[in-house]
A and B are shown apart, each in its own frame.
Chain A
Amino acid sequence: MSREHDKGMSLIVKTITRLTVGLILLYGVYIVMHGHLSPGGGFAGGVIIALSFINIMLAYGKEDAFKKLSRAAASMWESIGAIMFLGIALLGFTGGYFFLNFLNKGEPFKLFSAGIIPLCNIAISFKVGAGVFAIFVALILLKIDVEKKE
């Protein structure tokens, strides 16, 4: 086995991960975007998106995963999600009250419909995905420290 395969799991796992991780990410985005039409939504989609990055981290080791999404970027995305959700809620004051569905409702059963609900789904998926990824990264780094100490 050559030097570049030292970190992470074996070659088979790495190859399969490289082929499927994009599909997992795409599936998460699909779940988020169609949250108002089919089962799913921001919570499930956000966790699936986080799982795609965690898959990279488990297969390739933490350096390659941090190249795709670093810890600072994860906390930034979480803040962006929170501010986006709160901003959508505050924009409702233009029409009267907090969390007003101020956009055009559109035609049901279409992708661009239901006013603010798809936007809120996207914001929540940012928040949940980045939060879960940050928790996971923190626990993994603690684990590595413990093993070094022993």
Chain B
Amino acid sequence: MDVYLLTLVLFSIGIYCIVRKRNVIKTIIGVIILEYAVNLFFILSAYRTEGRAPIFMQEEEIVNMVDPLPHALVLTAIVIGLATTALLVGIAMRLYEKYGTFDITKIKELKG
């Protein structure tokens, strides 16, 4: 229970970073922290007390495996997170090239 609470605190740090900070790189950092928190929550929900990794062994029978389904979901989500991070960094570098700053309050000429 309190483990979930710590994960939620991490999530809210990410939200704070996205909402409050005015630097584009800081916003990207906030998105990365949010992604960490969500992945961590999935893996926490899969854990079983005294569990073993979901891999069969040759000589012994493993009865208390952890849940393999969230592991599979998170495995794909991590790689997608890398791709989206790269996309955000590309946009941020384009902004720096055009305006010479990462500060979103200085970028006032944004048009749709």
Q: Are A and B in contact, CB atoms below 8 Å, in the complex?
A: yes
- Chain A residues with a Cβ closer than 8 Å to the other chain, count: 19
The 8 Å CB contact of A47, one of B76, B79, B86, is B79
By a CB distance below 8 angstroms, the chain B residues around A47 are: 79, 82
Q: Tell whether, in the assembled complex, residue A43 and residue B86 are in contact, meaning their CB atoms are under 8 Å apart.
A: no
By a CB distance below 8 angstroms, the chain B residues around A139 are: 86, 89-90, 93
By a CB distance below 8 angstroms, the chain B residues around A132 are: 82-83
Number of A-B contacts (CB under 8 A): 34
Give the contact stretch, choosing among B20-28, B34-42, B53-61, B104-112. B53-61
CA distance A146 to B100 in the complex (A): 10
By a CB distance below 8 angstroms, the chain A residues around B82 are: 47, 132
CA distance A41 to B55 in the complex (A): 13
By a CB distance below 8 angstroms, the chain A residues around B97 are: 142, 145-146, 149
Given A108-B56, A109-B58, A143-B93, also A135-B79 (CB < 8 A): no
Q: Could you list 7 examples of A-B contacts with CB < 8 Å?
A: A41-B75, A108-B56, A135-B86, A139-B89, A139-B93, A142-B90, A142-B97
Q: Could you list which residues of chain B lie within 8 angstroms of chain A, going by C-beta atoms?
A: 53, 55-56, 58, 75-76, 78-79, 82-83, 86, 89-90, 93-94, 96-97
